[in-house]
Amino acid sequence: MADDRQRTTAAAFKALHAAPGGFVMPNAWDAGSAFILAQAGFKAIATTSAGVAFSLGRPDYAVPDSRLAVGREEMFDRIRQITDLVDGPVNGDLEAGYGDAPETVAETIRLAIGAGLAGGNIEDAKPRSAGLYEEDLAVERIATAREAIGDNPFVLTARTDVFLLPDGDLGACVRRANRYLEAGADCVFTPGARDLETIATLAREIHGPLNIVMGLGAAPSDATAILAAGVQRISLGGTFARAALAFIRRGAEELRDRGTIDFAAGQIPQGELNALFGTARA
């Protein structure tokens, strides 16, 4: 059930998708990381299923053992912790909608709106599989999600993982993206684009706002250049979460091998964090 706050943040998020110059939207995995990213001045933030999974000691993406996957209820518990703390728009990583059937995707969208999200991504990659949903079914899943949104300003992003396949094809990516937009998506997300030339072609040939992820594989890592290529939205997926975990591992190895904590030199002071988070629910 939408409330006034959700509608306000969703409307602001939708406006960002039409604003000149585009925007950068980093991804958080818990309330603390979300609040720090929001305080840094970003106009919107997103969740990351990878970051949430890793924080729970679970693997992410195409998990072969369903018992290890983060379920929808568990993911929404974390999402609500983030939306409760952050004032601005939050976009949800809703993976493949937590079910194959279009109606299951629609229910996930209704839950997302009820959880206070301003928008959310729905993927066309089959969970625990190496392929994509058959194209007509993938389109139907987006169309049903749009019906579930109704007149809410919630931003529906359709993610196509064509480029993450071994034989990823530019033409197939563009075709799927435009069909998703015709079915009701507000934005499309095409992870796996590896160079600025490909990104510029996508921005030119896809008939709606385009999201490109930074920090994934060999993707370009200059936000200014990516936006200049015609991209409207940049996300970072699990990049911050992976970098934070890498920092912990390096620090642990230093402590184990040298007995020192030089890694702690750049930590945020306790008092500063207390003051920062003390304003979070003021």
Residue type, 47: T
Percent of the chain at pLDDT > 70 equals: 98
Find the CATH number of the domain harbouring 107. Answer: 3.20.20.60
Q: Which two tokens stand for residue 68?
A: 């290890």
DSSP H or E stretch at residue 188: strand 187-189
276 inside domain: no
248 inside domain: no
213 inside domain: yes
Look up the pTM and report it: 0.95
282 inside domain: no
Which residue, 229, 201, 116, is CA-closest to 214?
229
Q: What is the pLDDT of residue 2?
A: 73
Checking if the pLDDT of 66 tops 80, the result is: no
Q: 23-25 and 45-47: which strand pairing?
A: unpaired
Residue ranges with strand state E in 8-141: 23-25, 27-28, 45-47, 90-93, 119-123
> Which tens digits make up the pLDDT trace of 181-219?
999 999 999 999 989 999 999 999 999 999 999 998 777
247 inside domain: no
Q: Quote the mean pLDDT of the chain.
A: 95
Residues 6 or more apart whose CB falls under 8 angstroms from that of 145 comprise 97, 102, 105, 106, 109, 122, 156, 184
> Which tens digits make up the pLDDT trace of 23-50?
999 999 999 999 999 999 999 999 999 9
250 inside domain: no
Q: Which two tokens stand for residue 260?
A: 């020192």
CA angle at 53 for the pair 167 and 237, rounded to the nearest 5°: 55
Cα distances (Å, whole numbers) of residue 90 to 82, 212, 213, 225, 282:
8, 17, 16, 24, 19
Domain, as residue range, for 168: 4-239
Coarse DSSP helix, strand, coil percentages of the chain, rounded to the nearest 5 percent: 50, 10, 40
245 inside domain: no
Q: How many domains does the chain have?
A: 1
263 inside domain: no
